[in-house]
Amino acid sequence: MARIISLLFCLLLGFTTISSRAADPATAAPTPAEVSAKKLNNRYLPENEVKQITIDNQPYDLLVRPWEGKKKLGAAIILPATNGTADAPGLMAFVRRNINPAGWASLSLTPPTELPAANFATAATEVTSPGAAQLSSPSNKPSPKIKPEDNSKHLQEQEDFLVQSMSQLDAVGADYVGKRILITADQSAGLLISLLSQKKIADPDVLIVINPYREDEKLNQALAEQLAKLTLPILDIQSPDGHPASLETAANRKILAVTLKSPNYRQTSLALNLDNESAWQNCLNAIKGFSARMSGAQ
């Protein structure tokens, strides 16, 4: 009898736990303050590298590394992929730390964030009755990640964030006179290409884009023409493990640049994936060579 009572107690406890978990509300998106606190987790970095800029009353990291050696060509402005940090691990952090001996100080910005994934949990009280219409979109189409109006609003917020970030670089980078190269990747690259094409930010002397793309299909298809119409020197680096949206437009980016006779555009296809550190060095070599040659820096 004692064993039966014990078993019933365990079952009751299990059901209670499941019910309480089911009743929990969906995890809320982080507040700007929470995002900021996460992005300011930089205590592993030397204090003299960590600067801050302020956007909408929130502090964000701007990581600065000076020239190393005799060469002093200018500054490399680095914008990692969206949802990362100013010291996002991988290729961009490698470039940030290793471009300095080539004569470039590095100024690494905190990138903008993406909207959180849509939460499709439905409260029990909202479940429709049998036979009632339940689908608001065709069954043969994927569910939209976010509402179009939310997407447009967030896109504007991302652009405003980047415009404000770039506008504060002159003061921070005043010690590093010379040319300016802009290095960016993934969705951040897509955003910056759009801003440059709209003349919302000043042209750098050289633009380096790595696996550029936009999440929105229409915006992604427009990317190739926007890039080809820019008149500044552009190095377009594509890796085999780039986002499918970037791989999809890679050929068109090159074709349009040739068609529109963009003399300063170059596309480099990497043989290795960017999860391979050998590819990082290949990228860095390409960036250093192209930047020194096309910027006219001496």
Question: Is residue 39, in this structure, part of any structural domain at all?
Answer: no
pLDDT in tens, 137-146: 554 444 555 6
Averaged over 224-239, what is the pLDDT? Answer: 96
User: pLDDT value at position 19?
Assistant: 44
pLDDT of residue 259: 86
Confidence of residue 83 (pLDDT cuts 50, 70, 90): very high
**Residue 87 is assigned to a structural domain of this protein:** yes
Evaluate whether residue 129 is within a structural domain.
Answer: no
For 221, the domain range is 50-113+159-298
Residue 37 lies in a domain: no
pLDDT in tens, 47-74: 999 999 999 999 999 999 999 999 999 9
Q: What is residue 29's predicted lDDT score, i.e. its pLDDT? A: 47
Q: What is the pLDDT of residues 273-296, one digit of tens each?
A: 999 999 999 999 999 999 999 988
| pLDDT digit string, tens, across residues 87-129 | 999 999 999 999 999 999 999 999 999 876 555 455 555 555 5
Does 41 reside within a domain?
Answer: no
**Contacts of 60 by beta carbon, 8 Å cutoff, 6+ apart:** 36, 39, 40, 52, 53, 54, 86, 109, 110, 165
Q: At 131, is the pLDDT very low, low, confident or very high (cuts 50, 70, 90)?
A: low
Q: What is the pTM of this model?
A: 0.79
Residue 59 lies in a domain: yes
Residue 231 — very low, low, confident or very high, per pLDDT cuts 50/70/90?
Answer: very high
**21, part of any domain:** no
Q: What is the pLDDT of residues 150-199, one digit of tens each?
A: 778 889 999 999 999 999 998 999 999 999 999 999 999 999 999 999 99
**What CATH number does the domain containing 236 carry?**
3.40.50.1820
pLDDT digits (tens, 9 = 90+) for 250-267: 999 999 998 888 789 999
The number of folded domains in the chain is 1
Flag whether 74 is in a domain: yes
Q: Comparing 1 with 230, which gets the higher pLDDT?
A: 230
